[in-house]
């Protein structure tokens, strides 16, 4: 007799102050359930409503083993598809179904995906600071912990360490927002890389995230200026709306290029992969719909020598991180895993978190995703409905910019 979906519901919690959405899929088999990540931090209420009001009525009674069919049906059920809200809701269910399938088979998800090709996933960490010395001290601390790759920023995305100088540049009546100066930002980045290389040499690999803050031609210029510092990769230098500029960038620089965290559907990034215009795929696994499309995307990338570097910031839940690691250790063309790390509250709410040791994250060998959620403890960390401010990004004259 088939095991079917009995219930689906969202669990919203914020152990570290960041709203997370976890989807729990309960089956007809007593005690058998799965969990998945549906975290879209800036619109978490909408995702939770989509899970409750649309995914549950659609899927209750369905055979839990039919993951591919459920994914395809969920994607087309609303007719219009590939939006971030829908994709995150689908992702939460998809990851939960893989978790269930692993438990039914008594196997970790990485074994269901073909088995390990490595024991752990190499990670990169984030080093930021208000001064060059602060960034350098952070890099040094990571190196002492065994981290081999570090992303360096100077005062956040767009170099927000220079807020005081920006005050005098604004016109009267300028709107509130997260202001930054494109030229000041570019100059600060080259100074930062010069300082870090002078201090540490090439004993650590370095990344940088532009986060769409520059005009395309300036992003190309900065990529060329950073060439002497041999970046591991140059991240999100352009917005998804500007992907035709990647061909120009590729012809102008040999700096490795990473892109993809804002894409909703793998097909959006197909031209960049097939035309060999990027080196790392940076998709957010819950943004594209879960493990099912992510594994297909990784296989597609392999044919074009593009490596995976799944998005893994603080607004990816520990469940989402676990899903990433299962993909990482089972994908031959894995490149690097972004890793924000967990505070104790998250470790308590999510028993079974992947473990970081000397720059590598290890999955456990428990069946499924190997991670769980303490629902009662999760309730002690309610989500806030406060809208983000950093996404209201503006240039010195007040013009709204991609965040």
Per-residue DSSP letters for 230-293?
--SEEE--S-GGGTTHHHHHHHH--S-EEE-TT-SSGGGGHHHHHTT--SEE---HHHHTSHHH
Handedness of CA 10, 11, 12, 18 (dihedral sign): negative
DSSP state of 333: T
Contact 109, 52 (CB under 8 A): no
Q: Which residue has the tokens 């899903």?
A: 323
Burial degree of 252 (CB within 10 A; 0-12, 13-18, 19+): middle
- Residue 185 Cα distances to 86, 190, 232, 266, 394, angstroms: 35, 9, 20, 31, 13
At a CB cut-off of 8 Å and minimum separation 6, what does 55 contact? 8, 23, 74, 89, 90, 92, 93
Write down how long the chain is: 403
Which entry of 33, 110, 124, 157 is annotated as an active-site residue?
A: 157
Which entry of 154, 208, 211, 326 is annotated as an active-site residue?
A: 211
Long-range contacts of 296-300 (CB under 8 A, 24+ apart): 296/266, 297/266, 297/269, 298/327, 298/331, 298/333, 298/334, 299/331, 300/266, 300/270, 300/273
**Helix residue spans in 40-131 (DSSP H):** 44-50, 56-59, 67-77, 84-105, 109-112
Contact 81, 75 (CB under 8 A): yes
3-class state of residue 102 by DSSP: helix
Let me know if 211 is a catalytic residue.
yes
Let me know if 110 is a catalytic residue.
no
The catalytic site residues sit at: 157, 211
């Amino acid at each position: 007799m088939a095991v079917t979906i009995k219930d689906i519901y969202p669990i919203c919690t914020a152990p570290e102050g960041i709203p997370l959405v976890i989807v729990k899929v309960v089956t007809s088999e007593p005690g058998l359930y799965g969990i998945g990540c549906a975290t879209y931090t800036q619109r978490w209420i909408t995702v939770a409503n989509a899970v409750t009001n649309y995914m549950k009525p659609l899927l209750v009674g369905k055979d839990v083993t039919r993951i591919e069919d459920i994914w395809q049906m969920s994607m087309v059920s609303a007719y219009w598809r590939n939006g971030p809200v829908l994709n995150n809701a689908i992702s939460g269910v998809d990851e939960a179904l893989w978790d269930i399938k692993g438990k039914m088979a008594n196997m970790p998800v990485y074994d269901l995906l073909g088995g390990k090709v490595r024991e752990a996933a190499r990670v990169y960490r984030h080093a930021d600071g208000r001064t060059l010395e602060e960034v350098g001290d952070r890099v040094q601390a990571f190196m002492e912990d065994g981290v081999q790759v570090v992303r360096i920023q100077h005062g956040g995305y767009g170099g927000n360490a220079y807020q005081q100088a920006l005050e005098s540049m604004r016109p009267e009546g300028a709107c509130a927002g997260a202001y930054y100066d494109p030229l000041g930002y570019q100059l600060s980045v080259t100074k930062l890389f010069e300082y870090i290389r002078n201090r540490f040499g090439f004993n650590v690999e370095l990344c940088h995230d532009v986060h769409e803050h520059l005009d395309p031609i300036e992003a190309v210029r900065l990529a060329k200026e950073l060439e002497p510092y041999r970046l591991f990769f140059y991240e999100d230098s352009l917005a998804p709306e500007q992907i035709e500029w990647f061909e120009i960038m590729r012809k102008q620089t040999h700096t490795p290029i990473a892109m993809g965290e804002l894409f909703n559907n793998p097909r959006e990034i197909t031209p960049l992969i097939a035309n060999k215009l990027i080196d790392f795929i940076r998709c957010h696994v819950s943004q594209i719909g879960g493990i099912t499309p992510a594994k297909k995307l990784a296989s597609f990338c392999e044919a074009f020598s593009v490596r995976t570097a799944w998005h893994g910031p603080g607004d990816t839940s520990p469940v989402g991180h676990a899903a990433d690691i299962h993909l990482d250790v089972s994908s031959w063309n894995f490149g690097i895993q972004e890793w924000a790390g967990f505070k104790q509250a998250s470790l308590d709410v999510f028993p079974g978190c992947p473990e970081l040791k000397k720059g590598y994250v290890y999955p456990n060998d428990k069946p499924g995703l190997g991670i769980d959620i303490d629902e009662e403890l999760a309730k002690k960390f309610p989500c806030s409905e406060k809208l983000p401010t950093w996404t209201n990004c503006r240039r010195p004259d007040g013009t709204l910019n991609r965040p």
